[in-house]
Amino acid sequence: MSAVADKKPKLTTSAMIASIASEGQRVKAAPFGKALVEYAASRPEVVGLSADLAKYTDLHLFAQAYPERFFQMGMAEQLLMGAAGGLAKEGLVPFATTYAVFGTRRAYDFIHQVIAEENLNVKICCALPGLTTGYGPSHQATEDLAMMRAIPGLTIVDPCDALDIEQAVPQIAERKGPVYMRLLRGQVPLVLDEVPGYRFELGKAKMLCEGADVLVISSGILTMRALEVAQDLAKDRIGVAVLHSPTIKPLDEAAIVEAVRYQHRLVVVAENHSVVGGLGEAVAATLLRHRVQPAGFQLAGLPDAFLDAGALPTLHDRYGISREALGARIKGWLG
């Protein structure tokens, strides 16, 4: 049974811009900014651009370290993408940052025509992905993956935590061609360092834990939630496996097929994105193409709707992606 109630409870707004980290959870400050500063130290071709949001994408650390390599483009996302494309044509490696809603919805044609069509080496890193802000549909990028998956040749990354981001930065920098990465900023949760042997590998999905009853295929912050749910449901003797897929495109189809085939368990795709056009539909298409049929299949994403404004914990509960709500949804699907 879905955790999204038919009658909406009254929203509280005291935590409108609350951190996605739970109380007491380990965090790491500005992993993107710090990783980019470290990587760029020996690579003078790396430059940074922002559309008046350097502080809010952690790119201000790069600007402080390399002021001559930082370009403030103002509130002009189309110009941001056009300039990034031009710099890439000159042999530089631009990292362009803004909020995900502005980088995708406002500048889509410029990414498509200026950057992607010419396969330029631009790295687009966008904060506030999915439901990571309480400021309503104007700031909630719940459809960015659907939009960006449609662009030919674009690599798409949805990291889970600070470790994923730190390890992804040099890998996306060294990948030839355009990249879109969802960005967690500020005090970012740190969870994957507790998974033995885990390392981010561009294009690869990783099995983080095993379980016989449910397979959760997830990306972004929903991998963090899936790991929490696996711990919770273990108390009820429900085994939950978690396959983390931080690269949305190209999708690691081989790992997904291997995890599903010959396993009689419910498959749940959990993502911080609309159920339309994201990881869930990509996984479903993969299974159909490879003629792999799971015991059951469900999407644990955000609804196809304009979401409310309010406190993040309230919204995550309302739309079924909090720890408690996701666990309840999975138990309901198991019957």
pLDDT tens readout for residues 225-245: 999 999 999 999 999 999 999
Sheet containing 247-249: give its strands across. Answer: 70-72, 46-50, 93-99, 123-127, 179-183, 155-157, 247-249
| Dihedral-angle region of residue 257 (phi above 0 means left; psi in -120 to 50 means alpha; beta otherwise) | alpha
Interatomic CA distance for residues 209 and 240, integer angstroms: 8
Cα–chain center distance at 310: 21
Q: CB of 134 within 8 A of CB of 13? A: yes
Q: What is the dihedral of CA 220, 226, 231, 236, to 10 degrees?
A: 170
> In a structure prediction context, what are the per-residue pLDDT tens digits for the chain, which is 335 residues long?
333 334 555 544 444 445 688 888 999 999 999 999 999 999 999 999 999 999 999 999 999 999 999 999 999 999 999 999 999 999 999 999 999 999 999 999 999 999 999 999 999 999 999 999 999 999 999 999 999 999 999 999 999 999 999 999 999 999 999 999 999 999 999 999 999 999 999 999 999 999 999 999 999 999 999 999 999 999 999 999 999 999 999 999 999 999 999 999 999 999 999 999 999 999 999 999 999 999 999 999 999 999 999 999 999 999 999 999 999 999 999 98
Domains and CATH numbers, the chain: 27-189 (3.40.50.970), 203-334 (3.40.50.920)
Provide the pLDDT for residue 335.
86
Is there a contact between 54 and 72 (Cβ–Cβ < 8 Å)? Answer: yes
> Which is it for strands 206-209 and 240-244: parallel, antiparallel or unpaired?
antiparallel
Q: Is the pTM value of this prediction over 0.75?
A: yes
